[in-house]
Structure 1
Amino acid sequence: MTMLKYTPVSEVEPTYKQLSNTFHSGATLPLAYRRKQLLQLARMIQDNIEAWEAAIFSDLAKPKQEVAMAELGPVVSSALLAADKLEEWNEPVRPEVEAWRSSWDTTIYTVPKGVCLIISPWNYPYIISLCPLVGAIAAGCAVILKPSELAPATAQIFADLIPKYLDPNAYAVVNGAVAETSALLNLKWNHIMYTGGIRVGRIIAAAAAKNVTPVTLELGGKSPVFVDVDNTDIEIAAKRILFGKQQNSGQLCVSPDYALVPRHKKAEFIAALEKAYKAFYPDGPLAPTSHIGKIINPSHHARLSWMLKNTKGKIVIGGQIEGDKRIAPTVVDDVPLDDVLMEDELFGPILPIVPVDDVEHALRIIRERSYPLVLYCFTENEDVRQKFVTRTNSGTVTFNDTYSQLAVHEIPFGGQGDSGYGTWNGKYSFDIFAHKRGSTNVPIAADPDMGLRYPPYSDESYNVFAGAVRQPIPEA
């Protein structure tokens, strides 16, 4: 196991000051500088693919196909997209204005927020660290990245490679645990992005509030999947749900957390899951050929194992436990709403099946719970689809698949309510680190036309300005 070298707490503030000096010098502002850093970030991935794969395998035993598909590939694509779109994203916008203000040179400038902090998690450390970093670089910010100490090999490779490829005066890595993170949070940032659990999210938000610092929080939650068994291909639905569930052994913020399945075809859905299970893992779920990763640490493994032992539901697929490292993808049938599996986000390879009477019953269950990060629904019925769009709330709503919405950089990714606030992904990653700065330039020569606004006020001047109050209102 990799021994992570923590950043001395005494170095945190000097590093912050160095980045602040760099930003205020204007060094990060030229688009040519930003483009170079973005392309260097992409090269950092391509030049060291095997090292990145080995680091995350050490921490999570994540198979390299998942690393390419969901970690490194999207980072390279994101960096190249941002490099290509720099001019477009940073171009000043001149909105259409009313005629009487047409000479005011009304402009919206896109400017960097400043020195920013990204605190990233252990489960998808590359994409959730580096894609937001891409957005911050493109916006012209300076950044400190704080990776999770729970994934020491990946945290260490960030510390080793980022200074070699990016400008070390503008981009730095701070490694450590509570003490180091606390030292970071004592500083005044221009934006903080945090991905993780709601308990720490509240701590981050409270620390940011002391300095009125804007925050992006991605906090996960229990993301349900409804299977409209009368209006979907049950076998495809089961295969796609199992695929999403087994990614990173269920340690994924958008993993389908539990399935809401109408009772009258629940047995058919379970049979479809069994068929997909045998196809995915012909030699068994914990065989080397199955590429099932490990649970992050023994304490999390023990938590998941305890829940499987104490659920009121019935294990119908999987359930095998290997030491304190792995758990087979497991399906638990007839799980009641007050079950241990339904209390918190599972963050593991367990899929509870909650029987429902119909779509209305499923909608009631969803609405009675905190807003999830994503809501999944398998249906080809347009009325059902519209019910999920208009009568539920979630960060994202995805139909007829799981997990793949993360590949769509044209839509925002983020939570709502308890699952977080703020969004990133593609240009949205740029937007969170950029400030839209409105500007006007009112001509000195226009002053004779502005005489009525100056004191002393009169009935004539009042009537001119009160005209806006009295303008006609159309019928609804």
Structure 2
Amino acid sequence: MASQLAYTPVEEIPKIHAELLSTFKSGKTKPIAYRKEQLAQLIYMIKDNEDRFFETLKADLGRPNFESEMLDTSITMSEAKYAYDNVEKWAKPERTPWDFNWFAMKPTIRKEPKGVVLLISPFNFPLFLGLAHMAGAIAAGNTVVLKPSELTPATAQLLAELFPKYLDPECYRLVNGDVPVVSKLLELPWNHILYTGNGRVAKIVLTAAAKTLSPVTTELGGKSPVIIDPRCDMKLAARRILWGKFSNAGQLCVAPDYALVPRAAQDAFLDACQEVYKSFYPVDPSSSDSFSRIVSEAHTKRIKRYIDETKGKVVVGGQADVEKRYIAPTIVKDVPLDDSLMEDEIFGPVLPVVPVNDVDEAIEFINSKDHPLALYIFSQDSSFKAKVANNTESGSVIANDVDIHVGTTDLPFGGTGPSGSGYLTGKYSFDTFTHLRGTLDNPWWVDAILLKGRYPPYTAAKTRTVRKAIAVSMPPRPGQKLGKRWGLWIVFALVSAISAILMKRQRQ
């Protein structure tokens, strides 16, 4: 399959931005019916061309069709369909909780689109981390520019072909290219930017966005650790960890990056890993239809260097072929805390097993590093799980599985600190691209009853009246009980009755 990617001319980018801004101002994207129509088109764009996407994803990533369906096409359609089913409910104005001081003014939150949105997506899951997030922006009523990764040229070129056939080009555009294209995009003001990728590029994006005051959400990954309780089911832990680590050749932002195992339990864990490994790959993984390739030769060299320089011992795997972009699924034991494999996020199919004294040392090590995007715990002991969760920080904390939380309905997905900011998936994607616009409507009679005294001149009588209206109901001092304040309830009942009478009179 041809993988030549046609880049968008840099001089066209400001024109695209201006056209989408003009469309947004026209109000075209605001009707819920229109949003649902475009969400349906997005779903059918994938469904009608799923086999073609399987071909491009195999060309770009050497990925098995099973993984492409499970981890990219199906989950993307599911995300878009969830938005399609719920957008009407999500977009409804929302009344705030009842409050005596404000109920008459009907405080309401309007759910309004932010405007023109820029999505910069990565290479590892071109559909899920591009189109699924785009579904949230469409549901919120925005116009959108999607910039796929140039490292997956076959998929990016197919998207460029399909976008104008399925989606309204006045509202949704795809821009292809590398650094000059991204640089030009970042010169423009956006109503929201979503960048998914690594921390180094995120700093560039955030610096550029600051110049135009464009708000940014980042999804950045990091070294997501696994803590192993020596009393856990080792075979179950090994099966789930290796699945999460070796899927897509380890190129997942939430893949378990390394395993922290008590020294006395390391051999038991490794025995389980080797047994599972053989069941996953009964033949050489390099000739298996169940294992992906690394996206580029440069990334293959980077991962190979980690393996070549490790002070640990390779238990299985370790082979590399840079030209074929192949890194064997690899497990390394006795990895020291300062090893080459512990420098940066591996983003490849290599699992370092790091022996520690106990869970306390594991927690101390995790807390000495940047907060990870995910933290995984394998234990059947609720107190063990609570100890890890209560004494660490991470984007998500998951017990007894890996990776799957990204597709969990209504669970916020996002990092913290260097692993990212903001939340995505489901309603959280809708909220990310939505402006919550507060409104009040203050009726005439409020001045007559409650707030007439707020206007000058400020007299002593007015001060007493307003002070009563805005007085804070104080909590009891620590160690002191507060008696029941029946007087306030009587005042409340009287004011409510008078308000009801006045509102009735106003309607007449």
Q: TM-score, normalised by structure 2?
A: 0.91
- What CA distance in whole angstroms lies between the structure 1 residues aligned with 2:144 and 2:79? 17
| C-alpha separation in 1, matches of 2:285 and 2:277 | 8
* Residues 1:149 and 2:150 are matched in the alignment: yes
Query: Who is 1:367 aligned against?
Result: 367
CA shift for structure 1 position 464:
3.9
Match of 2:294 in 1: 295
Pick which of 354-363 and 440-449 moved more.
Answer: 440-449
Is 2:326 the partner of 1:330?
no
Aligned to 1:35: 36
Q: For residue 268 of structure 2, give the secondary structure of its aligned residue in structure 1.
A: helix
Q: 1:201 to 1:277 in 2, by over 3 A?
A: same
Structure 2 counterpart of 1:422, one-letter code: G
Give the aligned partner of residue 320 of structure 2.
321
1: distance between equivalents of 2:423 and 2:295? 26
* Whole-angstrom distance in 2 between the partners of 1:430 and 1:111: 10
Match status 1:113 vs 2:129: no
How far does residue 472 in structure 1 lie from its aligned partner after superposition?
Answer: 3.1
Q: Percent identity?
A: 46
Aligned to 1:431: 431
Kept in 1, the 8 Å contact 2:320–2:328? The answer is: yes
**Which secondary structure does the structure 2 equivalent of 1:286 belong to?**
helix
For the pair shown, the structure with the greater C-alpha radius of gyration is: 2
Partner of 1:21: 22
What amino acid maps onto 2:400 in structure 1? N
- Within the alignment, does 1:405 sit opposite 2:369 as a pair? no
Q: How does 1:68-107 map to 2 (within 5 A)?
A: 68-107=69-108
Bigger Cα displacement from structure 2, 95-104 vs 326-335: 95-104
- Cα pair 2:228 2:262 within 8 Å, conserved: yes
Matched-pair contact (CA < 8 Å) for 2:301–2:322 = no
Q: CA deviation at 1:292?
A: 1.4
In the TM superposition, what are the counterparts of 1:14-413 in structure 2 within 5 Å? Answer: 14-230=15-231, 232-289=232-289, 291-324=290-323, 325-413=325-413
Gaps of 5+ in 1: none
Distance 1:474 1:307 in 2: 60
Cα deviation digits, residues 212-235 of structure 1 (max 9, x gap): 2211100110000011012x1001
Q: Give the 3-state SS of the residue equivalent to 1:187 in structure 2.
A: coil
Task: Please give the alpha-carbon distance, in whole angstroms, between the structure 2 residues aligned to 1:426 and 1:37.
Answer: 17
Query: Residues 125-174 of structure 1: CA distance to partner in whole angstroms, max 9, x if unpaired?
Result: 11000111000110000000011111111111111111110100000001
Alpha-carbon distance in structure 1 between the residues aligned to 2:466 and 2:363: 50
- SS of 2:177's equivalent in the other structure is coil
TM-score scaled by structure 1?
0.97
Give the alignment's Cα RMSD to 1 decimal: 1.3
Letter in 1 for 2:80: A
Shift of 1:407: 2.0
Amino acid at match of 1:245: K
- Letter paired with 1:77: S
Q: Distance in 2 between matches of 1:115 and 1:64?
A: 34
Give the partner amino acid of 2:179. Answer: V
In structure 1, what residue type is equivalent to 2:433? F
Gaps of 5+ in 2: 479-508
Worse overlay, 188-197 or 94-103: 94-103
Per the TM alignment, residue 64 of structure 1 is displaced from its structure 2 partner at its CA by: 0.8
